[in-house]
Structure 1
Amino acid sequence: MKLYYSQGACSLSAHIALYEAGLTFEAIPAPTKTHKLPDGTDFYNINPLGYVPLLELDDGRRLHEGPAIVQYIADQVPEKNLAPANGTFERYKLQEWLTFIGTELHKNFAPLFKPGTPVETKAAASDQLKSRLAWVDGELAGKDYLLGDHFSVADGYLFNVTNWAHLVGLDISGFANLLAFRARVAARPAVITAMKAEGLLIR
């Protein structure tokens, strides 16, 4: 398999999932600013949408949405319990979390990164994020991870997205449960490996 990623972008979630799964893969940088691969290939020729992550299977088939990619990865190694079994209520809870993180958190960070975003728009996005993160903080009370006591691919996604808070000046210091969760996830060997692979940690 090949994972096309950009340093620190939402593709970190898939990167973490692959290391957690213990699968063999090739990681290929596809910077979101240049869209040029290390060999000079235009990334748009591989993914016309131009964004990451993109997972290419050994037979050439491709997936290009993070929540679908991490579930595919998890299902390759069911014994790792990175996602509950398909058809169970718990699997729908995982999908609920992946959807929430993608639509309520991930998308609300976007205007904070874009140069030229009006101050009012940034303020509204920040307020929305804080409101949603306050809810997440409450949901994490008494739990190690989003689904309980076992790490899932949704946890990697939440960790990935909340990594952006310090980059855009979003203060999350008041969310004790979220901070404890982040520390817990950050200490996982697969997460450390993924972070180092993307140059996000000093080796």
Structure 2
Amino acid sequence: MADYKRHVAYKLKIGDVIQGKRIFDADKFSFIELGDKKISRVNVIANVVDRYSSVEKSYISLTVDDASGQIRIKIFGDDVNKFSDISQGDTVLIMGLIRVYNDELYITPEIIKKKDPKYLLVRKLEFDKIKPKEVNKDIIIALSDKIIDKIKNSEPNGIGSDKLMEEFKEIEPSLINQEIKKALEDGIIYEPRPGIVRYLG
């Protein structure tokens, strides 16, 4: 267990955990891939919607739901006593390891803490805060046209990417870079030297 402590416990929605790409090493599950992240430990907040326990087998199964999806929390052996007070209807924070058995993705918990239900909303607001803002397609098209016009009007010397950032400082730099890259790929502009773009038409 000590080895896994080195891995970050990522705050995720259950729906994202379920959708992650499962990566195996010689048939043994290793982690899930989400974007550029390799995830083996997670931190989720959810409601317990179902609870099953077997005294003979020293086993508890909790089904938890955070409105984005459901996943099972499987508790074995000595940990059964540790988490025996968790009941259906509880809101819980879970930190644990992602596992796969018989094609089912589940979590083996290291920590389960009861929380006030408001923490579900707090976590949702956290996710909303970091979620990329959707940009209206018409705005992107208008921005693209303005960038191309600015580059065209800078001929014959071209213009620096940093200068374009200054010209459109009210726009997210990532959006400007995205449109410059697209124009380069489409052959509308070219880069005679690093950081300088010119109009090709």
Greater Rg, structure 1 or structure 2? 2
Same fold (TM over 0.5): no
TM-score relative to the length of structure 1 = 0.21
Higher helix share: 1
Higher-RCO chain (CA-CA 8 Å, sequence separation at least 6): 1
